[in-house]
């Protein structure tokens, strides 16, 4: 009963909270980038909806006066891209096509940002999850230096396994 209350229920609770938070983040990204996910979704938009989505993306990627893309220019680029991608494709395939045609700069930037979002989220979540597990389990008997070392090993597990320790 002690294990269930002190360990199992805490882990299950943390997992539920993490999944809920991640799901909410992905819903936000879907609202911002959803029209770029597949060629079918891109082609399904009429001009009015596409322009609204492009302006929304411009606003989401704006920081003060600096903006990563121009929504109006992205709109015109995506109109041409709608005709360019006739078959059903994912966002990685679309970016590969665009990289061969560098005259769609706003679309290339938008797709590159879209493709980096899952990686940045997963890395941060993984880092904090590992650190939380290490710190809660070993907190009372560990120095900060040892905790940092263990966290690094836990995060870079694949590289650590390839190290030759028999020098």
> Residue 137 above 60 pLDDT?
no
pLDDT for 73 equals 92
Please state, in angstroms and rounded to a whole number, the distance separating the CA atoms of residues 86 and 106: 20
pLDDT for 49 equals 92
pLDDT for 118 equals 63
Q: Give 124 or 42, the one with higher predicted confidence.
A: 42
pLDDT for 159 equals 65
| Banded model confidence at residue 94, pLDDT cuts 50, 70, 90 | confident
Please state, in angstroms and rounded to a whole number, the distance separating the CA atoms of residues 167 and 159: 17
Contacts of 136 (CB under 8 A, 6+ apart): none
| Banded model confidence at residue 126, pLDDT cuts 50, 70, 90 | low
Please state, in angstroms and rounded to a whole number, the distance separating the CA atoms of residues 85 and 110: 16
pLDDT for 162 equals 67
> Residue 131 above 60 pLDDT?
no
Half-sphere exposure (Cβ direction) of 119: Cα atoms closer than 13 Å: 5
Contacts of 1 (CB under 8 A, 6+ apart): none
pLDDT for 166 equals 60
Ranking 11-25, 50-64, 135-149 by mean pLDDT, the lowest is: 135-149
42-83: pLDDT as tens digits: 889 899 999 999 999 898 888 888 888 898 999 999 998 888
CB 32 within 8 A of CB 56: yes
| Banded model confidence at residue 161, pLDDT cuts 50, 70, 90 | low
Contacts of 122 (CB under 8 A, 6+ apart): none
């Amino acid at each position: 009963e002690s294990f269930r209350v002190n360990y199992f229920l805490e882990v299950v609770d943390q997992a539920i909270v993490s999944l809920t938070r991640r799901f909410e983040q992905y819903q936000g990204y879907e609202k911002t980038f959803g029209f770029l996910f597949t060629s079918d979704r891109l082609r399904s938009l009429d001009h009015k909806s596409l322009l609204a989505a492009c302006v929304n993306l411009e606003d989401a990627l704006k920081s003060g006066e600096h903006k990563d893309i121009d929504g109006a220019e992205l709109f015109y680029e995506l109109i041409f891209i709608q005709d360019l991608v006739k078959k059903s494709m994912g966002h990685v395939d679309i970016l590969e096509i665009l990289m061969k045609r560098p005259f769609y700069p706003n679309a290339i930037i938008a797709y590159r940002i879209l493709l980096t979002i899952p990686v940045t989220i997963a890395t941060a979540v993984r880092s904090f999850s590992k650190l939380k597990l290490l710190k809660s389990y070993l907190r009372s008997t560990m120095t900060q230096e040892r905790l940092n070392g263990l966290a690094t090993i836990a995060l870079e597990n694949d590289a650590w396994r390839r190290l030759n320790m028999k020098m």
